[in-house]
Structure 1
């Protein structure tokens, strides 16, 4: 294994992105999808040109994981808010790759004028909560029993990160 490169995802990465995510759909509560999405849905995410939407992969000999930002809610007042997600191949966990992906993703969002970044974490998930805490996110709430997967109810925690805490309460400029 060589040095890990974080880069923009491209269409050639779609099979690995789908495989990593499909494993999470089948085995974990980190996603509330119950059926793996088709590859063309991933193609739309990877190909999004909307400001604030990014899709990154961590790669050495192949794609080890990915992180992306997307619209939090479709209404215009949320334009400076993004939701983020990160997924790693099981064999790549514990190497700091999630933090590496988030460092690049958050830097891009900050440069574009995104104000608030949100992450939704299915509970329990100590590793994901530790990652987000370590990246500066703060747990701001819990939504009890909002997901049903693997024959049980699952809570989610909402985590938030202000990319511009010094300007809290000030009017926004134009979004990126």
Structure 2
């Protein structure tokens, strides 16, 4: 973080964060193809998602904040619902508008992968809707490698989008 910017803290997400996290996510729902959700959520609708990320376990939710506001969050979740996929997780980072370029995503992933180090997790996967060069750079910096691209797999804003899949050994 730059010396002139407030210190960023990272901690486990709590139910008290649901409004801020929903606001951040809804920005991506409304304004981008980064997520393929098309209808914004209410905080109440996001509570089950938040509660599915316990403090201990492979499905984590970490929140970055400074003295003023929530700057973003990183999560792990099930890669697929079938039991044999349990040692694989899908990871993602969402930053509040104006928070990109401050190292917040990097800090969140550093803490997320530190937390996963002691867990029974074999692989992490990230799906990146293209184009999204900042996300590709972030994941590559953390050792993810391109595993393949699904072409025109999602439709949003009247067009089709490709999703590149990246994987990381843990």
**Structure 1 length-normalised TM:** 0.88
C-alpha displacement of 1:59: 0.6
Which residue number in structure 1 is paired with residue 97 of structure 2? 90
* Cα RMSD after superposing both structures: 1.3
Across the two proteins, how many residue pairs are aligned to each other? 163
C-alpha displacement of 1:51: 3.0
Which residue number in structure 1 is paired with residue 62 of structure 2? 56
3-state SS in 1 of match to 2:98: helix
> Take 1:103 and 1:40, find their aligned partners in 2: how far apart are those partners?
29
> Take 1:138 and 1:40, find their aligned partners in 2: how far apart are those partners?
36
After the TM superposition, list the runs of 4 or more consecutive aligned residues in structure 1 that deviate by more than 6 angstroms: none
Range that drifts further, 128-137 or 108-117: 108-117
Q: Does 1:35 align with 2:39?
A: yes
Gaps of 5+ in 2: none
Which residue number in structure 1 is paired with residue 78 of structure 2? 71
Q: Deviations over 1:61-100 (max 9, x none)?
A: 2111011100111111111100011100111110111111
C-alpha displacement of 1:39: 1.8
C-alpha displacement of 1:106: 1.3
Q: In structure 2, which of residues 20, 24, 29 is the aligned counterpart of residue 20 of structure 1?
A: 24
3-state SS in 2 of match to 1:92: coil
CA contact 1:21–1:87 (8 Å) conserved in 2:
yes
3-state SS in 2 of match to 1:24: helix
**Structure 2 length-normalised TM:** 0.91
C-alpha displacement of 1:44: 1.7
Q: Deviations over 1:110-151 (max 9, x none)?
A: 211211000000001111101100111001100000000111
Equivalent runs, 1:115-134 vs 2, <5 Å:
115-134=122-141
Gaps of 5+ in 1: 164-176
